[in-house]
Amino acid sequence: MKYPYGISDFKKINTKKYFYIDRTDKIPLLERSDSQLFIRPRRFGKSLVLSMLENYYDVAKKDEFEAIFGGLKIGKNPTELRNSYFILRLDFSCVDPTGSAEDVKRALFNHINVRIDGFYKFYNYKGFELPVIEINREDALYSIDSLIAAIRMTPYSVYLLIDEYDNFANTVMMGVQSAGKRYESLVHDEGPLRTFFKTVKASTSSSMFDRVFITGVSPVVMSDITSGFNIAKNIYFEPEFNDLCGFKQNEIEDVLKEIVNKCGFKKKKIQEAVNLMQTYYNGYTFSHAADERIYNPTLCLYFFEQFEKSCNYPRKMLDSNLAVDESKLEYIAQIPQGRDLLMDLVQKDQEVVISDIEDRFGIKDMLTDKSKDNTFLVSFLYYFGVLTIAGDTEELQIILKVPNLVMQSLYVERVQKMLLPEPDDRDDGKDAAKLVYQKGDMAPLCRFMEERYFKVFHNRDYRWANELTVKTAFLTLLYNDIIYIMDSEKEIDRRYADLTMIIRPDKRYGKVFDVLIEFKFVKLKDAGISAEQAKKLSEDELYSLSEIVSQIQDGKKQVQEYGKKLEQRHGNLRLQKFVVVALGFERICFKKI
């Protein structure tokens, strides 16, 4: 099977027999509105949707309709509008958003002019004999007006497709160019972005740009250019478009069955592969009313291609093309409230609750308002795909959570860098963590926590002082999703183990241990000693404190019980069980069970 990894050319995919999951039945639904805004996270198939529309509506591809769409759902029952438009496609990701505002304006105008020039040459080559379109190198808006004048002389109108419309805002937000004035100059009343969308709006009113479809990853720019273009219908939350991009569970299973059969595995391998993909990749919901979670298509194609080629799962489950999403978490980590949010999401079952999701926010607020509330921060992460809808509370608030294990790894890495900014500290901590699962030796990691990690909690004003904080510190160093299925707060018979590290099914040949850790926290005042006194305790004195003894005994019972359940569930585990007890942020002791 040929997988279209990195390919978003709809015609190529369908005429060259690449793998494609048919979404052309969404085309009649999309025709209900003339102008639409479609938002999805990065690498979620937006460009392929645009290419689908481009090939379906392009009047120049009428003779190719059967070849491209004949075997698809829409090919069996096409709409009246098929192959009835000229197509003008713009891609703002091709526009360099760095430099001065004048530099960006020039880059934007150059892109528009190049696409209009290509439009003119393509349709003349196809025999439509368009009147001359004058290209003004200094003013692309003039070029658009000239294009509209030429189109008036034909029986057709234009379907305008704009990809990555928010490229400028994203660059500013991610800190490549952080000057707010620079962005304002692009969207103010006479700025090139606002005037461009004013021109588009005017052309839709005259039916020359009869239809418009815009994609992006967030609704930020639309807030700033509302008066320039306030007619696009945002279809982000509509349940019928939840799966317009992405794969459904049954579709994943069908592909895995084919690969397993080709590789000659036994049938039980299918469920193993399904479980692995579900653990690492599943979890996206874009509408409150949607009844099924959606898989990221880029991650799935990456997995399929690797699995089929070698008959082995990918060594790294996170495709490097998605690793750059960490920059969104870095942006959040720069905001005081954002650090708290990231810690919460790593600690508390990766969930957060807000009253509603923001459906528009301006970049001026993002750049200047340092007191951003939780709703803003959570909404921001939601749009960029590092949080997703997980349901409602009994009070009808929205629950959002980290979608899957690959996204959790980005959170863990960001928190690790936030708490241990020095690379040498991170490297030493990871080396100590390796000894836990390679040798079953917890002592070096506990010493590292006492001597170096706990200094972070003394120096930073975090509001946590409990076993969750300690667990987070350990998790950031122990986290290894190449070898392990990591699970924080794993449910075992309606109770929760603090941290489990179960070796991936394809890695069980390695000489490493499965790990189960229960964390406990003793406050200094409960132990009746001060921080200075705690530091001076000998090992024997530390382990003989009544509070420590009590917590170790409680933890011992828990890990023994959880360990039995894990053995029953998985079988053949090489399980190392530990109880780790912190005395304030001063000392750590542990018991290997």
Beta bridge partners of 348: none
Let me know if 316 is exposed, middle or buried by CB neighbors in 10 A (0-12, 13-18, 19+).
middle
Q: What angle do CA 411, 412, 416 make, to 5 degrees?
A: 115
CA distance 476 to 411: 9
Q: What angle do CA 388, 31, 148 make, to 5 degrees?
A: 110
What was the pLDDT predicted at 228?
A: 57
What was the pLDDT predicted at 411?
A: 84
What was the pLDDT predicted at 467?
A: 72
* DSSP strands (E only) in 275-397: 351-354, 388-392
What was the pLDDT predicted at 176?
A: 46
What was the pLDDT predicted at 72?
A: 96
What was the pLDDT predicted at 570?
A: 86
What was the pLDDT predicted at 326?
A: 65
Q: Which of 386, 401, 389 lies closest to 350 in space, CA to CA? A: 401
CA distance 147 to 116: 7
What was the pLDDT predicted at 110?
A: 96
CA distance 82 to 64: 12
Residues 6+ apart with CB under 8 A from 224: 169, 187, 193, 194, 362, 363, 364
- Using a CB cutoff of 8 Å and minimum separation of 24, what contacts does 316-319 make? 316/482, 317/276, 317/280, 317/281, 317/405, 317/406, 317/481, 317/482, 318/406, 318/409, 318/410, 318/481, 319/43
What was the pLDDT predicted at 462?
A: 45
Cα-based torsion angle of the residue sequence 93, 99, 104, 110 in order, rounded to the nearest 10 degrees: -80
Domains of the chain: 10-236 (3.40.50), 258-323 (no CATH), 420-593 (no CATH)
Residue 239 φ then ψ, to 5°: -60, -30
What was the pLDDT predicted at 160?
A: 95
Cβ atoms of 414 and 471 within 8 Å: the answer is no
What was the pLDDT predicted at 408?
A: 85
pTM for the full model? 0.87
User: Along the chain (593 residues), what's the average pLDDT of each consecutive run of 10 residues?
Assistant: 91 94 96 89 91 98 96 95 97 85 88 96 95 94 94 94 84 56 66 83 82 88 66 86 93 96 94 92 87 91 94 86 66 76 74 85 61 78 87 90 86 86 92 96 95 73 64 90 79 68 92 94 90 91 94 94 89 92 92 93
What was the pLDDT predicted at 198?
A: 84
